[in-house]
Structure 1
Amino acid sequence: MVAFRKMHGLGNDFVVLDERAAPLGLTDARSRLIADRHFGIGCDQLISLEPGGQGADVFMRIRNPDASEAQACGNATRCVASLIAAETGKTQVVVRTVAGDLPCTILGPDRVVADMGAPRLGWRDVPLAREADTLALDIVEGPVAAPAACSMGNPHATFFVPDVAALDVATIGPRLEHHAAFPERANIGFAQVLAPDHLKLVMWERGAGMTLACGSGACATIVNAHRRGLTGRRATITMPGGDLVLEWRESDGHVLMEGPVATAFTGSLTLP
């Protein structure tokens, strides 16, 4: 039997498995089954903890429900940091990912600030299929057009719209995820500016579909909104699952994300 923990940040939910002592043999088929909401436990992403190595407290591997590997996940980063803090008593935790090291500050047992690093803004960094202005891509899909793009360790495109509620995200989201402009697919955000310090956001996540919240998507949104002159560098971003507080720090260009973490339940499973 293998112990697991079901966690979430604003309803963006994860099954967390511990592989620091030894690998568990998480094949693609096993990963898809665990993530399945009908035949498995169900989650937006499957998270495995691995030894962090020098300079990090833990390595976090992120698998989508389709078993593809994601490079970054802000909500999972906060959840994992809270677990390590509970184990060690630390208030400063470094979570290592494929995309790099993410320092986290523990504000309390259920609230964490994650330093998600600096966005990458070049067309090759996103990446895009060809050279383009990442501030306004030549993309039109139904009622949305001209997104801004950046990488927060994984590719993001943000469409700014007058009314998020009017969009059929379940229809246009997958088309945009697989658009030819994105050779590695992309996370697609639909953002509505409510005030210079407040946005509403709905996400279609690469490999996961619609989720209640997306931390890296919120990071990309504050970056792209400020680049467009729509907001300041700090804003609350409201998603279906709740609010995150984002700041694109001017001093070093890093994006700070503050938000809650929660454990829904714990249990054990038998790997098929």
Structure 2
Amino acid sequence: MKLSFTKMQGCANDYIYLDCRKSGVPENIAALSEKLSRRHFSIGADGIICICAAQTAGADGMMRIFNADGSEGRMCGNGIRCVAEWLYTHGIAKETLAIDTLSGLKTVTHKGAGLWQVEMGAYSAMPASLPAVNMGEEPLVDKELTVDGKTWHVTCISVGNPHCVTVVEDVDSLKLEEIGPAFEHHANFPERINTEFVQVVDATHLKMRVWERGSGETWACGTGTCATVAALTELGICPAGEDIHVQLRGGVLTIRVLPGRQLLMTGAAETVCEGITEV
């Protein structure tokens, strides 16, 4: 069977995009994501994002995310910008789009050629929102977490999916392939965790690397960047109400914390190629 796809990336967070608005999500989507995401052996990506028919009245579409290991994610900040760009260039040329996700309806606004701003919603540091266990009942801000015998200071944030943020002196020197899996599968996070390692350049400039559950290290993570700025705002390092510029391996995202712990994310979305593959 032949499958039409679009390859897109936001800050090098690259996914294979499928138009499922009429056909629905393929029954074998988990196996398909594992197969097509293999780098060097297939199309290669961080996973598959299905662009589906909207579930909410008045919405323009729905996004469903399947990681490279076949597991389904709830939200992807870089992915939703690409979905907006895809819809915008495939017949829904509206300056503001409403897109359903498993983390709720998101509003995405066109800010220029290939540039989109996403209203990401409110974040939470409460254990039940992640979920996290064995870490107390109060907000998970500046908590100690022992991972493979080493104690880290972490702040845990939910932005529709769970994140564990820790400040380090030098992100480039970290061996994420060794420490990332231990965070992801830590017993305190029964649904696994995304982990961000962040270096503070100054109050409005950060440098970050991310280990994503189900995908390993990726060159960018939109929700992870939001969680990082939220965490450092809670820690008093970054100011609320100002643009915080985060340097990722794949580019820069700009995040602002608004009143009510609401998050605003701005970044690019780019089509890499379109094609047809045998499945």
**TM-score (normalizing by structure 2):** 0.93
Matched, 1:261 2:238: no
Counterpart of 1:241 in structure 2 is 250
Counterpart of 1:21 in structure 2 is 22
Counterpart of 2:163 in structure 1 is 156
Cα RMSD, aligned residues only? 1.4
Counterpart of 2:201 in structure 1 is 194
Unaligned runs of 5+ in 2: none
Once the 2 structures are TM-superposed, how far is the Cα of residue 95 of structure 1 from its aligned partner?
1.3
Counterpart of 1:9 in structure 2 is 10
**TM-score (normalizing by structure 1):** 0.95
Which structure 2 residues correspond to residues 49-198 of structure 1 after superposition, within 5 A? 49-53=51-55, 54-86=57-89, 87-132=91-136, 133-141=139-147, 145-198=152-205
Question: For 1:28 and 1:125, how far apart are their aligned partners in 2?
Answer: 26
Name the aligned partner's letter for residue 135 of structure 1. Answer: V
Question: For 1:164 and 1:131, how far apart are their aligned partners in 2?
Answer: 25
Q: How many correspondences in the alignment?
A: 270
Q: Runs in 1 of length 4+ with deviation above 4 angstroms?
A: none
For the 8 Å contact 1:82–1:109, the answer to whether it is kept is no
For the 8 Å contact 1:124–1:131, the answer to whether it is kept is no
Once the 2 structures are TM-superposed, how far is the Cα of residue 109 of structure 1 from its aligned partner?
2.7
Once the 2 structures are TM-superposed, how far is the Cα of residue 143 of structure 1 from its aligned partner?
6.0
Question: For 2:161 and 2:183, how far apart are their aligned partners in 1?
Answer: 15
Listed one character per residue, the Cα deviations across residues 8-27 of structure 1 (whole Å, up to 9, x for unaligned) are 00111010001111133333
SS at match of 1:21: coil
SS at match of 1:127: coil
SS at match of 2:4: strand
Name the aligned partner's letter for residue 55 of structure 1. Answer: G
Question: For 1:163 and 1:140, how far apart are their aligned partners in 2?
Answer: 20
Question: For 1:109 and 1:26, how far apart are their aligned partners in 2?
Answer: 35
Once the 2 structures are TM-superposed, how far is the Cα of residue 118 of structure 1 from its aligned partner?
0.5
Question: For 1:26 and 1:104, how far apart are their aligned partners in 2?
Answer: 29
For the 8 Å contact 1:35–1:45, the answer to whether it is kept is yes
Once the 2 structures are TM-superposed, how far is the Cα of residue 31 of structure 1 from its aligned partner?
2.0
Moved more, 85-94 or 31-40: 31-40
Question: For 1:156 and 1:79, how far apart are their aligned partners in 2?
Answer: 22
Once the 2 structures are TM-superposed, how far is the Cα of residue 131 of structure 1 from its aligned partner?
4.6
For the 8 Å contact 1:144–1:159, the answer to whether it is kept is no
Unaligned runs of 5+ in 1: none
Once the 2 structures are TM-superposed, how far is the Cα of residue 270 of structure 1 from its aligned partner?
2.4
Listed one character per residue, the Cα deviations across residues 121-151 of structure 1 (whole Å, up to 9, x for unaligned) are 2110011023524102331336661210011
Question: For 2:142 and 2:278, how far apart are their aligned partners in 1?
Answer: 48
Name the aligned partner's letter for residue 81 of structure 1. Answer: A
Moved more, 129-138 or 102-111: 129-138
